[in-house]
Structure 1
Amino acid sequence: MPPTGFNGDRSTSASHARTAVTRTYRSTARNFAQLARRLAAGELVAVPSETVYGLAANALDAEACAKIFDAKGRPHSDPLIVHIHDIAQLAQIARAGTIAQKLARAFWPGPLTLVLPKTEAVPCIVTAGRDSVAVRMPRHPLFLKLLAACGLPLAAPSANPFGYVSPTSAAHVKAGLGGKISAILDGGPCEIGLESTILDARDEQRLRILRPGAISAAQLAQVAGCAVSDFTTSSSSATAARARVPAQRSNAEPAGQVAPGQLSRHYSPRAQVILHEKIPSELAATSRPTEALLYFSKPPADQPKGQAHRDWLTATGDQEEAARRLFAKLRELDAAGFKTLHVERAPSGILSTAINDRLLRASQRE
């Protein structure tokens, strides 16, 4: 039998989600106190982070966490990340080895998630039935303040319908989950705009990145003092393939993913996304009004325009700016009703692996 509170690959029907009046809260002392009380009472609150907005619930309350899956339409096989505000809380959630503790001290608060053996305090619904848990300490000051105010670890995946483009503003959250949740804490646009780096640190002899983000394998290895297996497209494809094929497993084997962000199709707009190393001039010249061209950097003035809408992620080639604008731009083009988005991959750089991972998953149609 699966562990209590874990439902395998089943996702809760959206029809079970209650209709709510969704209110956006500013960062006042009164609002923080109210939102902290709601979290303690088992309610959901959408929260800002430096990566993307999250949908938070008390990570130690299985019933509260079940509401996350309900509101998002998220499969129970996709685990949640637990957020803490003080490194002293880590021992309540996970068993961290020497290297994991060193990495936490170096990169927290910040966009690094560590996958570690879990403690009994963490419900199985949070971990997709596995004996490991993903943990991080966010850097956003309002999220940290709310974590401290409620005194609880908070489970929080991205605050959007499952599989859709991640939200990087309070308005994005309301557009996707309005009517399904009652509270959004507005912390402005996200600083990074991409989800955290996830590092598998269950075995400290085999550290490996499961999801690329703003913190690189080289940065992690320098602090850890040992090799860190970097994220590669081939490892992503292998993980995604395993996710698509239901495995024949015994009742003793875990049923879910080891970490979020592993599915082949994710971060996906309704429009079809077609990726290019560079958008060909011939394609641009013959493009149709139903298409949009999303360049990585602003194209030269003499680039053919055709009939498609034309946009770019950065005017100067700045990868941090491109990452920050990526999800917002995909949402904007999707909302405009374009049927096809031709998108350039990021050239080699500090965030290219993370940006291209999100684009690859957004382009998948199954």
Structure 2
Amino acid sequence: MRVLCVAQGPSHVQWQIPLAWAAQLAGHEVLVATRPPFTDQVTRAGLPAVAIGDEAAVDALTRAAKQEFLAQVGRRVAEEGGSGFVPTERELLVAGGRKMIAIAEGMADGAVALVRDWRPSVVVHDTGALVGAVAAAVAGVPAFGHTWGATPDGVFDIADDYLQPYFGPLFEKFGVAPRTTARAWIDPSPPSMRSPIPVPRIDMRYTPYSGPGVVPDWLWSGTGAPRVCVTTGISATGGSAPWSDAVQETLVRTLLQHGCEVVVTVKDATHPSLRGLPSGVRVLESFPLNVLLPTCAAVVHHGGAGTGTTALALGVPQLVLAHHLVQRQWGTQVERTGAGLMVRTDVEAGTAAVAAAARAVVEDAALRENAARVAAEIAAMPDPAAVVGLLREASESRSSGLPG
């Protein structure tokens, strides 16, 4: 079997690595296709990468989609006679889906050329790489979606009246009928964290993967103090945090005053935003969270699904400092499970809420118990090898008993 995995961006690639590993270990041929700037993430994981997509086209198309959305907002403001109009969450989710279709447009020519040359048996694409559905239709093979934690509902509603006029022509360009949904969605998120939208799913245990790293000698010795990881995830640029300097200062000083050992993980340890950190704070550059978090009492992050799901899988309570919609969506889901807390940095007038939440995420025994419960839920899910078996059945029969 030839398995083509398609991922669109830096925070999406890592979700498909465990399944790609499992397929390769089972003796199948695997390729991971992604946009040119992100192929190094694939090769660092020991997998073959293929660069697809025109970055200039992707940039232009996503800018156009954003301008279209802003124009719609402007018309609504004019219609309602004031500047107080705020888009609904549904409108924001649909705008996110439109952006993903724009990215697919910029990747389509490369993806179709690849499947015509390599002839995969099955295509697995992440929720941000809708071009995978187009490539599978051209190749005439099954397409499976691969979610990434808190997948925006707008992706599951890709066939709705607003998005379909944009998505359908992308299939028609290559002479194939539109496929509006995947055969099923491979879902590594625990059931207690999922969107209520009824889509066919294949459960798969989340395997934390955050890339390579050299383990420092202090990691497992510790100081006896509760260790707290503060991270912005790989989707943040450089070492900058997606929250204000005042929030970061309050957060770190509160944790230090509370007797915690603070470890800040960043992509770039030389970033100017780190110069104001108090003495005693450790900084780790590009270090795998799946190695660090088992030594931590809690993690504070920006609402990234990769960071958050890694914390859930390892039973570590989390504090989400959320600013935009997708981050708030993740924080809301975490709070619903009781495994963490959220502070909305887009609406909080001060930093008192951050200080209170920082103390609570370290102290609250109920958060630890709930985090452990969700970790057990994840551990009970089928492993990636089981999902590879389902993909093989689908590629061989094209009519297996899979969901949907």
Pairwise same-fold verdict (TM > 0.5): no
Larger radius of gyration: 2
Q: Which has the higher contact order (CA 8 A, sep 6+)?
A: 1
TM-score (norm 1): 0.30
TM norm structure 2: 0.28
